[in-house]
């Protein structure tokens, strides 16, 4: 436990502001002290999701993480886990009606600066919505989700009256339109995935990737479109340990194909997408080889086997394109969401911000 951040979180009387929500729970922080604030995740989401597992895997990753060896991505600092029976000291900072529950305290990832938010709104949204989107205080908590595995295709001119910039999905065609280098992001993701598989030995199930300001200048990617930023990985509650054998490879392949379309995908038709997958694959294999080392012959062949398995599963259409797959924990379906392919959305859960974004996108674009 980081006593400094724990003491500040419990002693402070400043009300907490919700900055996001996911299937594991909602995320809160101090709206008036972004530069020094802590992200506090509540375990108030879907059944079967474990904030304790999120905390344990987070620490496992940080223990294996050496920034000088992995300049392509970073991980938020871990500040502590507070069990429900010890959380009464902090419940006063939440709005009335919120009760004590398990809490995870981590470094807050700084939101995208205002000028960048306004640029994204101007570039990708109708002019008539710009004022309302920019004025909405909830949109100040903007993080960008790079979707290297999906492009948009113009489908309809109809738009909805509101839009959330939280967990803003930036598709591959938008990345190209902004003049960003998708191959740089692909390399960063490949490094991160190889690190999770072979250094931390976890399957990376349902891990999130976001682009946001860097906490270390050495990690920053300079950009006119997004400002200096880096790639962060977060949300580890669905991650599980993987064995270094064929069963572990199947587990990792399913996790790869089940996740949101962060990674480039094999089996695409566009030459640019084919090249991006090839670059991701080669970057992953290089990073994996460096992590495993030349003297571990038994594990050295596993990364290439995993890439081949992902390609084969894609070709066999066992996972036909990206859908909103139900997440599983210990083999149980813990969510009721349907898929975009069927056009159905399940009920029983409050929509998280990224799901809201994707649902709204259906009014604007047909995801290929």
CA distance 216 to 352: 29
CA angle (102 as vertex; 101, 106 as ends), nearest 5: 130
Q: Which strands sit side by side in the sheet containing 103-107, from one edge to the other?
A: 17-21, 26-29, 38-42, 103-107, 78-82
Q: Which of 14-28, 64-78, 162-176, 347-361 comes out lowest in average pLDDT?
A: 347-361
Say if residue 292's pLDDT is above 90: yes
Residue-wise pLDDT for 178-204, tens only, equals: 999 999 999 999 999 999 999 999 999
pLDDT the model gives residue 154: 58
pLDDT the model gives residue 188: 96
CB-facing half-sphere around the CA of 101: CA atoms within 13 A: 16
Say if residue 40's pLDDT is above 60: yes
The strand pair at 168-171 and 208-212 is best described as unpaired
CA distance 204 to 234: 10
Say if residue 301's pLDDT is above 50: yes
Q: Give buried/exposed letters for 167-179 (b at 16+ CB in 10 A, else e).
A: bbbbbbbbbeebe
pLDDT band for 317, please (50, 70, 90 cuts): low
DSSP state of 112: P
Which residues lie below 8 Å from residue 246, measured CB to CB, with a gap of 6+? 305
Mean pLDDT, the chain, rounded, equals: 83
Query: Residue 63, Cβ neighbours under 10 Å: how many?
Result: 10
Q: In the chain, pLDDT over 90 holds for what percent of residues?
A: 64
**Cα four-point dihedral sign 241, 352, 192, 107:** negative
pLDDT the model gives residue 354: 44
Looking at per-residue confidence, does 70 or 245 come out higher? Answer: 245
Of 285, 316, 311, 282, whose CA–CA distance to 299 is shortest?
285
β-strand partners of 211: 144, 231
CA distance 38 to 78: 10
DSSP state of 93: G
Residue 322, classed as helix, strand or coil, is coil
CB-based contact 60:200 (threshold 8 Å): yes
Residue-wise pLDDT for 137-150, tens only, equals: 999 999 999 999 99
pLDDT the model gives residue 164: 81
For residue 3, give Cα distances in angstroms to 32, 56, 88, 123.
21, 18, 17, 43
Looking at per-residue confidence, does 60 or 37 come out higher? Answer: 60
pLDDT the model gives residue 160: 46
CA distance 45 to 27: 10
């Amino acid at each position: 436990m980081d006593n400094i951040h724990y003491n500040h979180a419990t002693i402070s009387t400043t009300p907490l502001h919700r900055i996001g929500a996911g299937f594991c729970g909602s995320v809160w922080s101090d709206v008036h002290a972004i530069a020094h604030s802590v992200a506090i995740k509540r375990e108030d989401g879907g059944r079967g999701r474990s904030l304790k597992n999120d905390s344990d895997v987070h620490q496992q990753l940080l223990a294996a993480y050496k920034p000088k060896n992995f300049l392509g991505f970073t991980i938020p600092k871990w500040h502590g886990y507070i069990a429900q029976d010890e959380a009464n000291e902090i419940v006063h900072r939440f709005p009335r009606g919120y009760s004590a529950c398990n809490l995870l305290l981590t470094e807050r990832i700084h939101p995208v600066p205002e000028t960048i938010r306004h640029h994204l709104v101007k570039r990708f949204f109708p002019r008539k919505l710009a004022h309302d989107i920019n004025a909405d205080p909830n949109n100040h908590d903007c993080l960008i989700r790079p979707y290297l595995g999906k492009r948009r295709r113009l489908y309809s001119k109809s738009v909805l009256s509101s839009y959330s910039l939280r967990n803003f999905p930036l598709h591959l065609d938008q990345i190209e339109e902004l003049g960003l280098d998708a191959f740089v992001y692909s390399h960063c993701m490949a490094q991160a995935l190889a690190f999770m598989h072979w250094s931390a030995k976890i399957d990376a199930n349902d891990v999130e990737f976001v682009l946001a300001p860097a906490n270390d200048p050495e990690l920053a990617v300079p950009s006119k479109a997004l400002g200096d930023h880096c790639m962060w990985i977060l949300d580890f509650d669905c991650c599980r340990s993987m064995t270094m054998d064929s069963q572990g490879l199947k587990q990792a392949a399913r996790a790869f194909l089940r996740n949101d379309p962060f990674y480039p995908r094999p089996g695409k038709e566009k030459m640019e997408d084919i090249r991006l997958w090839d670059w991701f694959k080669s970057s992953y294999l290089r990073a994996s080889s460096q992590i495993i080392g030349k003297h571990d012959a038994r594990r050295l062949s596993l990364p290439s086997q995993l890439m081949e398995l992902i390609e084969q599963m894609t070709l066999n259409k066992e996972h036909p394109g990206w859908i909103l797959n139900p997440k599983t924990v210990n083999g149980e379906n813990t969510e009721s969401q349907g898929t975009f392919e069927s056009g159905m959305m399940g009920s029983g859960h409050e929509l998280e911000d990224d799901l809201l974004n994707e649902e709204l996108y259906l009014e604007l674009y047909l995801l290929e």
